[in-house]
Structure 1
Amino acid sequence: MPQFDPSSFPSQFFWLAITIVALYFVMTRMAIPRLASVLEQREKMIDDDLEQAEKLKAETEAAIAAYEAALAEARTKAHDEIKAVTEAAAKEAEAKNAEVSERVAKQIKDGEDRIAKSRDEALSHVREIAATAATDMVAKLAGLSLDDAKVGDAVASAMKD
């Protein structure tokens, strides 16, 4: 093999050196700058994507916060409306209860008045009936005729006792 012949080593080293220098210049002048520009372009694109992702994340968080605030406000408003409706219903029920209680109290008073009137009327008739019955009994039993005024007074005094 001619590469291993020591007499050709200097020419091999010379061409090796020229090839390495040429390869070095080609790499530094063409390949590495292209790779660097591609890497720089990719890095810029990645940074832009990350920046856009951060903006979108901030917008999403703001939208979520606005949604949660609107939801909390809606809940508060719903609770207030429920409370207002409940209070209105309670007031209406209380007013109807008062109206019914008033009507029932009036009916009870009217009933009591009618009962008292009937009782007074019955008591006045009881006195009359008792006086008539006493007069008739004395007339039938004793055969006496009594004065209606005296019998009325006697019945009245007996009823007081």
Structure 2
Amino acid sequence: MAEEPIAQELASACIGPDGSAIGMPQLCGEWVGNQVFWLILTLVAIYFVLSRVALPRIAAILAERQGTISNDLAKAEDLKRQAEEAEKAYEKALVDARAEAQRIAEETRAEIRDEVAKAQEDADRQIAAKTAESEQQIAAIRASALENVEAVAKDTAEAFMGALGLGADRAELDGAVDQRLKG
């Protein structure tokens, strides 16, 4: 029976008679010191592992990412600046092209106006020449017609006088027709 008091001494409020824990062992007040020791030891081990291994790797990755981000931002700024310069150059080229197109259009209009003016002058000259030629032809036709009218009038007068049975001198008939034609 001597063993029983030792067993009772070893038995505590947290261990049952069969040696199993009663309730939650973490909440047993007799084991708190032991639990605090292992907690501190575990935390120190985690701290050293984190501070010597994990955190430097994470810091290196963060620094690398920050460098990549900085480089990408610098490249983006450079590309933005280049895009702005390209846009300015495009706008300038567009303005120059419009001005050049306007100049070419104005030159073409001026050339067309000159060609039209020349063509109109040539046409006016040709028309004036044709008009003068036509007027000469008309004057010649009128003169010829007047001569023909005079000749026809004289012949008609002579034929009329002959038809009436009156004898008339050709010179008298010509003088009477000339006098009548003059007015």
Query: Cα–Cα, structure 1 residues 134 and 8, in superposed 2: closer, same or farther, change >3 Å?
Result: closer
Q: Which moved more, 1:43-52 or 1:8-17?
A: 8-17
User: Hey, which of these two has a bigger chunk of helix by percent?
Assistant: 1
**In the alignment, which of 54, 66, 77 is matched to residue 89 of structure 2?**
66
Q: What is the TM-score with the length of structure 1 in the denominator?
A: 0.78
**Displacement after TM superposition at 1:16 (Å):** 1.8
* Residues 128 and 152 in structure 1, CA contact (< 8 A), matched pair in contact too: no
**Displacement after TM superposition at 1:55 (Å):** 0.7
Residue equivalent to 1:159? 181
Correspondences of 1:45-124 after superposition (within 5 Å): 45-124=68-147
Deviations 1:98-140 (A, max 9, x none): 2123212211221121111221132134224423443454355
Deviations 1:142-161 (A, max 9, x none): 4434261x433322232233
Q: What is the TM-score with the length of structure 2 in the denominator?
A: 0.70
Q: Which runs of 5+ in 1 are unaligned?
A: none
Report the Cα distance in structure 2 between the residues aligned to 1:6 and 1:126, rounded to whole angstroms: 161
Secondary structure in structure 2 of the residue aligned to 1:144: coil
Over aligned residue pairs, what C-alpha RMSD do you find? 2.7
Report the Cα distance in structure 2 between the residues aligned to 1:111 and 1:22, rounded to whole angstroms: 127
Aligned-pair identity in percent equals 32
Secondary structure in structure 1 of the residue aligned to 2:169: coil
Rg comparison, structure with higher value: 2
Structure with greater contact order relative to length (CA < 8 Å, sep ≥ 6): 1
Secondary structure in structure 1 of the residue aligned to 2:174: helix
Report the Cα distance in structure 1 between the residues aligned to 2:162 and 2:176, rounded to whole angstroms: 16
Secondary structure in structure 2 of the residue aligned to 1:10: helix
Residue equivalent to 2:167? 144
Q: Which runs of 5+ in 2 are unaligned?
A: 1-20
Query: Cα–Cα, structure 1 residues 152 and 9, in superposed 2: closer, same or farther, change >3 Å?
Result: same
Q: Which moved more, 1:126-135 or 1:9-18?
A: 126-135
